Amino acid sequence: MFGRTLRNLRCDMMEKVNQILSEFQLKKEELKEIMKRMQQEIERGLRVETHEEASVKMLPTYVCSTPEGSEVGDFLALDLGGTNIRVMLVIVGEDEESKWRVETKNQMYSIPEDAMTGTAEMLFDYVAECMSDFLDKHHIKHKKLPLGFTFSFPVRHEDIDKGILINWTKGFKASGAEGNNIVGLLRDAIKRRGDFEMDVVAMVNDTVATMISCYYEDRSCEVGMIVGTGCNACFMEEMRTVELVEGEEGHMCVNTEWGAFGDNGELEDFRLEYDRVVDETSINPGHQLYEKLISGKYMGELVRLVLLKLVNEDLLFNGEASELLKTRGSFETRYVSQVESDTGDRKQIYNILSSLGVLPSEMDCDIVRLVCESVSTRAAHMCGAGLAGVINRMRARRSLEALKITVGVDGSVYKLHPCFSDRFHKIVWDLTPHCEITFIQSEEGSGRGAALISAVACKMASCMK
Ligand code: GLC
């Protein structure tokens, strides 16, 4: 008798939990609606008359339908845009079958909080310091190498090696950078040090670098996407629709900056109470609303807020949360991956929760897993709807019966979460009939891509001489 009551109580609780989590499920019709709205914003971003007010900025990158041939030799690649700065030495060459062969040496440097949120000078001085250290370590300080710079923020380009930062995203806030030429800031910092010289030949977004690095393996790669700290995509667009740049012939890669989708209210009917809290407590409230539903910078925090909601409803941890769990940012995004990687014995989940100061029952562990699954599945589906929008639009614009295309992808969420990529691929395929989409993971794409495009830029510069 008692056992049955307990079981009933559990069923009751699970029902309530499932009801709360059901808000994260998106029906196919809803995903199609999101896809449609994304396509509308893409159009608005491309058009001169609507560009200013569009949330999806569709920024021209000056990376054009790749001309064959490039310089060979040593290039330096610098990557700034996530939690680390990465410096790389890339040796670009051709092998016997005249295929690209790219060798790399690289080093990561973590970015101190004060460099991220101090002044632009402080940030770029730190970047130059990392480069100097790297050159020392590899005994190449005397060489003036060409540099490819991957800068993963929204940049309004004037050329491939010149562009102003529109606004910071992903927790960066260094003052005096927005509205300024980023390559100029980097050159100034290198000059201030005075212990090495560098020839900055190209600046690209990480999505663009990813697409380029994958293009060298698969010539059908015309889309690049990142799902990491941030979330964004780029793709090759016909020149004549890129109204912000003159010229009609060929294609130019456009950085969508789709992370800002929703900033004009396009996602209001999909955003939940947790999304609103994440946004309100972020460094850039009201901005990057689509990214905040998806990317690694926010995923763990979303999970934490849902857990607190369940605690408040008396459905988890006996209605009591630890101080740590009540602290913003304590549930890291990597825990979401770890929870969902648990093999079924709940050990991993138990360990994470105890490190957060709670002693969970088996049922608590199962609920936490359900929360992680709900949040990360919604992220995969939301992101999938965006990409399906991009690809369906490409097929329609090219008036193709069927489109065969490859997408180069990078980013910690995509690569490290155990199920994100599968769920994401499935939904994209489902939403893109008449398209044959292949996904390839880029290996060190940010650096390699920047170096490869620099090699092309060098070749073009020397041709024009
Ligand atoms: C943010 C940035 C964007 C970048 C993305 C992935 O959305 O604004 O430029 O590509 O993060 O790093």
Residue with the larger pLDDT of the pair 374 and 462 = 374
Mean pLDDT of 319-323: 97
Ligand 1 centroid vs 128 CA: distance in angstroms? 22
**Residue the block writes with tokens 């090219």:** 398
Mean pLDDT of 357-366: 96
Per the residue annotation, which of 57, 79, 161, 170 is the catalytic one?
170
* Active-site residue flag, 173: no
Identify the band that residue 101 occupies on the pLDDT scale cut at 50, 70 and 90. Answer: confident
- Choose which residue among 166, 211, 226 to substitute to test ligand 1 binding: the one with the highest number of ligand atoms within 8 A of its C-beta: 226
Question: What are the φ/ψ torsions at residue 453 (nearest 5 degrees)?
Answer: -70, -30
pLDDT at 4 over 90: no
pLDDT at 134 over 80: yes
Predicted local confidence at residue 7, as pLDDT: 81
Residue with the smallest CA separation from ligand 1 atom 3 is 153
Q: Give the lowest-confidence range in 87-91, 155-159, 282-286, 367-371.
A: 87-91
Residue with the smallest CA separation from ligand 1 atom 6 is 230
Mean pLDDT of 312-317: 97
Ligand 1 centroid vs 207 CA: distance in angstroms? 8
Please give the number of the atom of ligand 1 that sits closest to the Cα of 82.
12
What is the b/e burial string over 213-250, where b = at least 16 CB atoms within 10 angstroms of the residue's CB? bbbbeeebbbbbbbbbbbbbbbbbbbbebbbbeeeeee
Q: Can you tell me whether residue 436 is helix, strand or coil?
A: strand
Per the residue annotation, which of 57, 79, 161, 206 is the catalytic one?
206
Ligand 1 centroid vs 109 CA: distance in angstroms? 19
Question: Alpha helices of 58-107 — where are they, by DSSP H?
Answer: none
Predicted local confidence at residue 445, as pLDDT: 81
pLDDT at 292 over 80: yes
Ligand 1 centroid vs 364 CA: distance in angstroms? 35
Chain-centre distance for alpha carbon 126: 23
pLDDT at 10 over 60: yes
Predicted local confidence at residue 318, as pLDDT: 96
Q: Can you tell me whether residue 60 is helix, strand or coil?
A: strand
- Choose which residue among 205, 258, 263, 382 to substitute to test ligand 1 binding: the one with the highest number of ligand atoms within 8 A of its C-beta: 205
pTM for this entry = 0.95
**CA 293/CA 272 separation, integer angstroms:** 10
* Angle, alpha carbons 273-276-277 (nearest 5°): 90
Please give the number of the atom of ligand 1 that sits closest to the Cα of 81.
12
Q: Of 202, 205, 263, which Cα lies nearest the Cα of 234? A: 205
* Active-site residue flag, 206: yes
**CA 288/CA 298 separation, integer angstroms:** 11
**CA 79/CA 235 separation, integer angstroms:** 20
Q: Of 323, 332, 328, which Cα lies nearest the Cα of 413? A: 332
pLDDT at 376 over 50: yes
Residue with the smallest CA separation from ligand 1 atom 11 is 230
pLDDT at 3 over 80: no
**CA 282/CA 169 separation, integer angstroms:** 10
Mean pLDDT of 268-289: 97
Predicted local confidence at residue 66, as pLDDT: 56
For residue 461, count other CB atoms closer than 10 A to its CB: 14
pLDDT at 447 over 90: no
Assigned token pair, 371: 């929360």
Half-sphere exposure of 461 (CA within 13 A, CB side): 15
**For the chain, what percent of residues have pLDDT higher than 90?**
82
> Which residues form the pocket of ligand 1, taking CB atoms under 6 Å from any ligand atom?
81, 152-154, 169-170, 205-207, 226, 228-232, 257, 259, 291
Mean pLDDT of 226-254: 94
**CA 314/CA 157 separation, integer angstroms:** 52
pLDDT at 43 over 80: yes
Predicted local confidence at residue 183, as pLDDT: 97
pLDDT at 460 over 70: no
Mean pLDDT of 368-396: 98
Contact 180, 120 (CB under 8 A): yes
Ligand 1 centroid vs 249 CA: distance in angstroms? 28
Predicted local confidence at residue 465, as pLDDT: 43
Ligand 1 centroid vs 386 CA: distance in angstroms? 15
Contact 344, 385 (CB under 8 A): no
Mean pLDDT of 337-362: 97
Please give the number of the atom of ligand 1 that sits closest to the Cα of 226.
6
Residues ≥6 apart with Cβ < 8 Å to 177: 120, 123, 165, 168, 185
pLDDT at 337 over 70: yes
- Choose which residue among 153, 283, 288, 413 to substitute to test ligand 1 binding: the one with the highest number of ligand atoms within 8 A of its C-beta: 153
Query: Can you say whether residue 140 is alpha, beta or left, with left for phi > 0 and alpha for psi between -120 and 50 degrees?
Result: alpha
Q: Give the lowest-confidence range in 83-97, 131-145, 253-267, 336-350.
A: 83-97
For residue 357, the 8-state DSSP code is: T
Assigned token pair, 458: 């060098």
DSSP string, 208-234: HHHHHHHHTT-TTEEEEEEESSSEEEE
Task: State pLDDT tens for residues 177-188.
Answer: 999 999 999 999
* Mean pLDDT, all residues of the chain: 93
Predicted local confidence at residue 335, as pLDDT: 98
Ligand 1 centroid vs 287 CA: distance in angstroms? 12
Mean pLDDT of 109-117: 89
Assigned token pair, 203: 């600046």
**CA 126/CA 133 separation, integer angstroms:** 11
Q: Can you tell me whether residue 285 is helix, strand or coil?
A: coil
